[in-house]
Amino acid sequence: MASNVYSRDDDEEDHCVNIKSVVERVIYDTPAPVRPKMLAVAAIDFGTTFSGVAYSFVGDYERQPLQIDAKVWQSTKGTGVMSHKTPTCLLLTSNKSFEAFGYDAEDQYAELAEENAHYGYRYFKNFKMLLHTDEGLKRDAEIKDEQGHALPAMLVFTECIKYLRDETMKTLKTKGDLIRANEVRWVITMPAIWGDSAKQFMREAAEQAGIERFQLVIALEPEAASIFTKEQLSQRKFNEDGTAFLAPYDPGTKYMVVDLGGGTVDITIRQVLEDRTLREVHQATGGAWGGMGVNANFLAFISELVGDNVLSELRLNHKADYLELERSIEMKKRHLEGDRQGRIMIPLPAALMEVYADLNNGAKLTNKLTFESKHPGKVDIQRGHLRIDKELVAGFFKPAVDNIVKHLREDLLTLPEASDLVDIILVGGFADSKIIKETITKVFSTKCVVVPKEAGLAVLKGAVLYGQNPNVVKERISKFTYGTRSYRHFLEGYDSPEKETYIDGQKYCGDCFGKIAEVGMSYMLGEGQDIELSPVRGELTRMCVDIYKSTAKEPVYVTDKGCSYLGRINVDMPNTSLGKKRSAKVRITFGDTELICEGIDEGTGKRSREVLDTLSSTTSTERRLQSPSCTMNKQ
């Protein structure tokens, strides 16, 4: 296979390189960079609604892998809230400097609002879902705060990660004063269904937060949970005399992990290998069906009862009371314990009753629910608590539950790879919901549905385990087909006339998709492709390759439906003494949690970790219009 690549750098100077060949799949054995010895692993579970940190020391892991400590968070404002997770909320001052995170950010902003002193402060919550829409994500993306003012998203993510990093280091130093920041391997979790741009965005934010590139590992959330559950769970087996005993999963055992988070539901199928490592059986799937939707339905129902204007007034001018209501809903969502009539009780802030009376000529909310309710006999107020019939509450969960069940039933459990699944394991904060567990257990009665101990911490603690042994997952499935934009000889009667172009007087077909990895294919850890390059012009000091992705297995053109521009890899070759008689390789590894790119100058043997820049503001169309990027002669 031979091809020519034409591209432009940021100075709009034409650069031309020759793709000599795309080497067959190979497992690389490249020398690891020299790194300081890691004494500890710390994981940051950066969630949509809640975040947490956990850590373990290398010595403890070698003796007892599950000896993992998770930080306990507590509001400093005396609300009594304590948890292993803290809300993913950030408060910045008017000059964009850090003020508070988590429970403290919630409480301080509510207090400022009560005093009408919150104007100018920047308060952010539920912003992680910006990364869910991976297509079009750029480095200069912005997020709006609660008052509608925009700030760079990179700044918001960086400040959050920096705070979580600093808090973890404080905790680690209480365990061993001599530990240094560069002796900690950091792990940040991300949904497996998110794309390459989201991973790069999070990595760059982490680096700006003070985490060195070589110290940072990206863990996929359901994968981390699968590692934790493999260590924690056992299977029931029987001796010859019929007595039962518990044993670790046998090699060959397949199990499904359903990570039920606040924003997304992430699902993966894993298989235990002979050496107790794991392989991915099917690429991760899921959707935006997390617990946030249930909270929103709760609030929408209350808004229907009291009036949009009442709830809006509470949110805008009684922040502390609105925050109390939100926290009560979050607790009830997880633990739906009703009264003797089976009604779910939610404490109502006194301010809500007062605001209702003020905006309704002194009328009482209790009277409205008794005599004017759209749900007679199913909703009332008793001793300051809103009592809601359990069937109505179940309806708040229905959209999320229906989407999850439909996806499991129609898209996953019908797969041949899933025919011999042993367990369906529910993890994540949303897994604590009784309705979720009961529904999935009932619908999939032929499977063993398990909610393990510490289900809400499975991702966080699994991320620590992954950081201690990143080789625990030996095989992963490619989410996309990857390739280069290439040009080859025009095939009359086959190629679209609009793709016809001329280079040096010869007719070529443009915008061809030169495949280097295929969606659904399994790749071993360290496995990928080499792309061999050589410069067309002797004075070139940089060679560039544009990478595209597709949801199809065999895309023909980079403009096909399902194809999109991913990013560019630049390989520097500053020594031009050999002119065009130089060559280099771009090495792309597909078997890790991220695409790993390495440039190799074959003349000097110099290796460099290259960045596949997926966050550039340059669009795919702009790239294509600059100049041809690649010509390819298929053999």
Record the tokens describing residue 613, joined without a space.
């820049």
**357 and 235, same structural domain?**
no
- Which residue range(s) make up the domain with 414? 226-288+399-459
Give the chain's length.
635
Q: Where among 395, 426, 441 does a domain terminate? A: 395
What CATH number corresponds to the domain at position 278?
A: 3.30.420.40
**158 and 48, same structural domain?**
yes
Residue 395 is predicted with a pLDDT of: 93
**498 and 616, same structural domain?**
yes
**167 and 128, same structural domain?**
yes
Asked, for residue 487, whether it belongs to a domain, the answer is yes
pLDDT, tens only, 252-284: 999 999 999 999 999 999 999 999 899 999 999
Rounded Cα–Cα distance for residues 479 and 632 (Å): 25
**Residue 90 amino acid letter:** L
Side-chain-side CA neighbours of 159 within 13 Å: the count stands at: 23
Asked, for residue 472, whether it belongs to a domain, the answer is no
Asked, for residue 280, whether it belongs to a domain, the answer is yes
Asked, for residue 134, whether it belongs to a domain, the answer is yes
pLDDT, tens only, 350-364: 999 999 999 999 999
**484 and 342, same structural domain?**
no
Position 19 pLDDT exceeds 60: no
**214 and 178, same structural domain?**
yes
Position 290 pLDDT exceeds 70: yes
Asked, for residue 183, whether it belongs to a domain, the answer is yes
What's the pLDDT band for 12 if we cut at 50, 70, 90? very low
**What percent of the chain lies above the pLDDT cut of 90?**
56
Residue 628 is predicted with a pLDDT of: 39
Rounded Cα–Cα distance for residues 130 and 153 (Å): 9
Position 2 pLDDT exceeds 70: no
Neighbours of 104 (CB within 10 A): 20
**364 and 262, same structural domain?**
no
Record the tokens describing residue 550, joined without a space.
């597709």
**273 and 409, same structural domain?**
yes
Domain count of the fold of the chain: 4
Element (H, E) at 189: strand 184-190
What's the pLDDT band for 239 if we cut at 50, 70, 90? low
Terminal alpha carbon distance of the chain: 6
**Residue 340 amino acid letter:** R
Q: Where among 202, 221, 240 does a domain terminate? A: 221
Asked, for residue 414, whether it belongs to a domain, the answer is yes
Rounded Cα–Cα distance for residues 310 and 322 (Å): 11
Rounded Cα–Cα distance for residues 589 and 525 (Å): 8
**151 and 77, same structural domain?**
yes
Nearest 5°: the CA angle 467, 470, 471 is: 155
Whole-model pTM?
Answer: 0.87
**205 and 85, same structural domain?**
yes
**490 and 610, same structural domain?**
yes
Residue 125's nearest CA partner among 323, 324, 329, 400 is: 323
What's the pLDDT band for 543 if we cut at 50, 70, 90? confident
Average pLDDT over every residue of 574-587: 82
